[in-house]
Chain A
Amino acid sequence: MIYAPAIAALLATIGLALVRAFLGPTLFDRALAANAIGTVAMLLLAVLEFLTGRPEYTDLAMVYGLLNVVGTIAVLKFFRLGDLGRESPVDEGER
């Protein structure tokens, strides 16, 4: 009962962010939507811990949060360089 409004709102947020991920129009809009979905999923996992009374969910949320950031940056790097292994070009002289 305590968690019902929060869970409904978080699920609605994921739904709306999914619409943005489908609409695009640029790659970055989709990556932003994916990042937001990851953050909200993390919150949903944290709420789930208290709903089900199982303390493992916060640990899952933490791992999810870390993967979310690493995943976002990996996607960006991949689309910028077409490769994950190379050193990124030094930005210092560019501007």
Chain B
Amino acid sequence: MTPADWISMALLAAGGAFCVVGAVGMLRMPDFYTRMHAASVIETLGAGLVIAGLMVQAGFTLASAKLAILAALIFFASPTATHALAKAAHERGVEPVLGEGGGEGGK
């Protein structure tokens, strides 16, 4: 394997590891809102590192440009979906579990 292969393998493995961590977080967290934070680890660092690893593999080609479009799509679309979920849950009256001193500040 060439050095570029090693770099891309490391990036891919790190991205995969963050995806698994995010999924474990989705299982461990106590309520819906905290699970949302775990899922956003998958969508930012997990997806970003996997795509970066693939871009190292692709080099400076059209495939790389497509992967960049894919990354841009994730980064623009995923907060919209997350916000839609959060707002829908809030309007449905799903109550967040709050930590000590975590009341609604400034209200």
Residues of A within 8 A of B (CB): 1-3, 5-10, 12-13, 15-17, 19-20, 23, 26, 28-29, 31-33, 35-36, 39-40, 42-43, 46-47, 49-50, 55, 58-59, 61-62, 65-66, 68-69, 72-73, 76, 79-80
Q: Does B97 contact A (CB under 8 A)?
A: no
Q: Does more than half of chain B's interface fall in helix, strand or loop, or is it mixed? A: helix
Question: Are A46 and B54 in contact (CB-based, < 8 A)?
Answer: yes
Q: Which of A12, A13, A69 has the most CB of B within 10 A?
A: A13
**A42–B48 alpha-carbon span in the complex (Å):** 12
Question: Are A16 and B94 in contact (CB-based, < 8 A)?
Answer: no
| Given A28-B88, A28-B89, A69-B81: A13 in contact with B12 (beta carbons within 8 A) | no
Q: Which of A2, A23, A66 has the most CB of B within 10 A?
A: A2
Question: Are B73 and A28 in contact (CB-based, < 8 A)?
Answer: no
**A62–B32 alpha-carbon span in the complex (Å):** 28
Residues of B within 8 A of A9 (CB): 13, 15-17, 19-20
Taking CB as reference atom, which chain A residue is nearest B73?
Answer: A65
**A86–B106 alpha-carbon span in the complex (Å):** 36
Residues of B within 8 A of A80 (CB): 88, 91-92
Residues of A within 8 A of B22 (CB): 13, 36
Q: Does B45 contact A (CB under 8 A)?
A: no
Residues of A within 8 A of B63 (CB): 49, 55, 58
